[in-house]
Amino acid sequence: MTKQAQLELEQRFADLKASLSNEQWSNADFLIRKLEELELTDITLAFRLMQRVKNLSPTEANQLKLKELRVKALEQEPELATLSSNEATSRKTMLKNNAVSLKDKMVVLSANPKLKKFKRPFALCVILPFLLFTFYQVIWASPRYESQAQLIVKEPDGMATLDPAMAIMSGFGVGSGSLDTELVKAFVYSNDMLLYLENTLDFSTHYSNTEYDFFSRLDGDASRETALKYYLARVLVELDEKSQVISVFVQAFDPEFAHLMSKTIVDRAEWYINEIGHNLAKKQLEFVTLEHQLVEKRLQEAKTELLAFQRRHNLLDPQAEGMALQQITYQIEGQIATKRTELNALRNSMSENAPQVLQAKSQLESMVQQLLNERARLTTDKTADSSLPDDEKNLSVSQVMAKFSDYKINMELALQAYTSSQVSLEKSRIEAYRQLKYLVTVESPTLPQDAKYPEVFYNLSLFLAITIMLFGIGRIVIATVAELR
């Protein structure tokens, strides 16, 4: 296929992508139905679309279908493999020439007499491993694409929506961002996230595909611990301490799978942040609500007992009745004092048998007797009532007042407990609102176009520096041992 034909195929593929929605473009079943229609009219475009389906769902059936479409496409368009073959051949030729040139330079360098004694050990310990590692990095290593996303955890602004006193009491304004970001990082690195990716995206199938090099891919029969270790090597989470922005980097052998995996991790992390906040607030609110119901029940029982006591004794307020009896007693005592003064005055001017003196003495005696009777009402027992409980029979007014005070104190204590419980309930409801967290996407998961890994120049430079350093250390150790002998 010529370069112009290749460009036209990619343009038709891009037009097909633009005509579909994001949901359809990410749905492997829908794309399979679409390529079945294209297979009758445009076999090359159907083959190109099947590559997309294989990346989304790399099952054995889809791989067989891709090979079948490739054969059909080559039958109709024999030039389909020309461009890729030429490019691969030219690349291998260039790498071969570079290797030959490097080899010639190393031969010239090794011919130096000063380095002759290091020729064989240096070649075995440095040059040969470096050439092997270069071959792996440049030719064999599978390219890896990296998709990145940036997130930040936000919570509602309670100070703006609540009364300031309630907002301060409930703890609004006290930051917990660093804890939330650490939770997101821990969850992304957790085995639960790996299991979710395995069930959702078939993580192991993509990374253990035999199309990729042996050292980069995951073993097909890898254990769960090995798979987790491999997953941690392909996913990186970085936290910005100042802005609390979470950066997620995901590596994959296919750019579209890297994008899809990054998006899945972001969605699952958002669900996790919301879920733990909701569950914590729900459990706390349930506990406080149950306690509030118990306090409210105790208040109702205290009210019922107080009203029943008043009804049994036909009293609206025993304390008021006791005060009234005391007031009557005080009035009688005042009248007695007045009558005694009047009697003393009559005795000074009249004999003891005078009618006025006798009348005054009789009135004074009646008042004294009335005073005794009124005082008895406060201290002596009432007539027993069979309908009263045993502990309330034959109670005096003072005893009734004391009993009434006990019931009233119980009710006041229950009322205070109810008030405190009501405040706690409202605070818990506010806390439930405060526990809501939102994982805001600062940068959506990217769809990479160029392979970022392996970093060939960096890896080769580092490998060469380490091998030369180790070789030098080894030579020093050997020379030191030889000198000591």
Predicted confidence band of residue 266 (pLDDT cuts 50, 70, 90) = very high
- Ranking 24-28, 281-285, 408-412 by mean pLDDT, the lowest is 281-285
Cα 399 to Cα 21, 303, 323, 381, 404: the distances in Å are 86, 20, 14, 9, 8
Assigned token pair, 16: 């097909």
Percent of the chain scored above 70 by pLDDT? 73
pLDDT of residue 309: 72
For the stretch 222-265, pLDDT in tens is 899 999 999 999 999 999 888 889 999 999 999 999 999 999 99
Residue with tokens 């970085």: 238
- Ranking 47-51, 52-56, 422-426 by mean pLDDT, the lowest is 422-426
Contact present, 274 and 222 (Cβ < 8 Å): no
Comparing 189 with 417, which gets the higher pLDDT? 189
Residue with tokens 């593929």: 13
Residues 6+ apart with CB under 8 A from 428: 284, 285, 288, 289
Half-sphere exposure (CA, 13 Å, Cβ side) for 338?
8
- Helix-, strand-, coil-residue percentages of the chain, each rounded to 5: 75, 5, 20
Find the mean pLDDT for residues 382-402: 62
pLDDT of residue 286: 72
pLDDT of residue 87: 40
Strand pairing partners for 453? 144
Q: Is the pLDDT of residue 479 over 80?
A: yes
Find the mean pLDDT for residues 272-287: 72
Q: Is the peptide bond before 454 cis (omega within 30 degrees of 0)?
A: yes
Half-sphere exposure (CA, 13 Å, Cβ side) for 320?
4
Predicted confidence band of residue 319 (pLDDT cuts 50, 70, 90) = low
> Which is it for strands 235-239 and 145-154: parallel, antiparallel or unpaired?
unpaired
Q: Is the pLDDT of residue 160 over 90?
A: no
pLDDT of residue 38: 80
Buried b (16+ CB within 10 A) or exposed e, 425-441: beebbbbbbbbebebee
pLDDT of residue 386: 55
Burial of 314 (0-12, 13-18, 19+ CB in 10 A): exposed
Strand pairing partners for 237? 248
The region that residue 173 occupies, defined by phi over 0 for left and psi between -120 and 50 for alpha, beta otherwise, is left
Find the mean pLDDT for residues 415-433: 76
pLDDT of residue 161: 42
Find the mean pLDDT for residues 295-303: 83
Q: Is the pLDDT of residue 62 over 70?
A: yes
Q: Is the pLDDT of residue 167 over 70?
A: no
pLDDT of residue 2: 56
pLDDT of residue 86: 44
Q: Is the pLDDT of residue 4 over 60?
A: yes
Residue with tokens 């590596």: 251
Burial of 378 (0-12, 13-18, 19+ CB in 10 A): middle
Cα 419 to Cα 112, 169, 412, 423, 434: the distances in Å are 96, 16, 10, 6, 23
Tell me phi and psi for residue 65, to 5 degrees.
Answer: -65, -40
Average per-residue pLDDT in the chain? 77
Q: Is the pLDDT of residue 448 over 70?
A: yes
Contact present, 181 and 239 (Cβ < 8 Å): yes
pLDDT of residue 477: 92
Tell me phi and psi for residue 148, to 5 degrees.
Answer: -125, 155
What is the distance between the alpha carbons of residues 276 and 286, in angstroms, rounded to a whole number?
15
Q: How far is CA 333 from the centre of its chain?
A: 78
* Nearest Cα residue to 363 out of 324, 327, 337, 330: 337
Burial of 147 (0-12, 13-18, 19+ CB in 10 A): buried
- Which letter does DSSP use for residue 115 in this model? G
Find the mean pLDDT for residues 88-109: 48
pLDDT of residue 346: 80
What is the distance between the alpha carbons of residues 47 and 344, in angstroms, rounded to a whole number?
135
Task: Give the gyration radius of the chain's Cα atoms.
Answer: 48
What is the distance between the alpha carbons of residues 32 and 54, in angstroms, rounded to a whole number?
10
For the stretch 104-142, pLDDT in tens is 545 544 555 544 444 578 888 888 999 999 998 888 888
Assigned token pair, 193: 């996230």
Residue with tokens 């461009």: 83
Q: Is the pLDDT of residue 276 over 60?
A: yes
pLDDT of residue 165: 47
Q: Is the pLDDT of residue 195 over 80?
A: yes
Percent of the chain scored above 90 by pLDDT? 19
Find the mean pLDDT for residues 288-297: 79
Q: What is the DSSP string of 171-186?
A: TTT---HHHHHHHHHH
Q: What is the DSSP string of 270-298?
A: HHHHHHHHHHHHHHHHHHHHHHHHHHHHH
Contact present, 25 and 48 (Cβ < 8 Å): no
Assigned token pair, 152: 């930040």
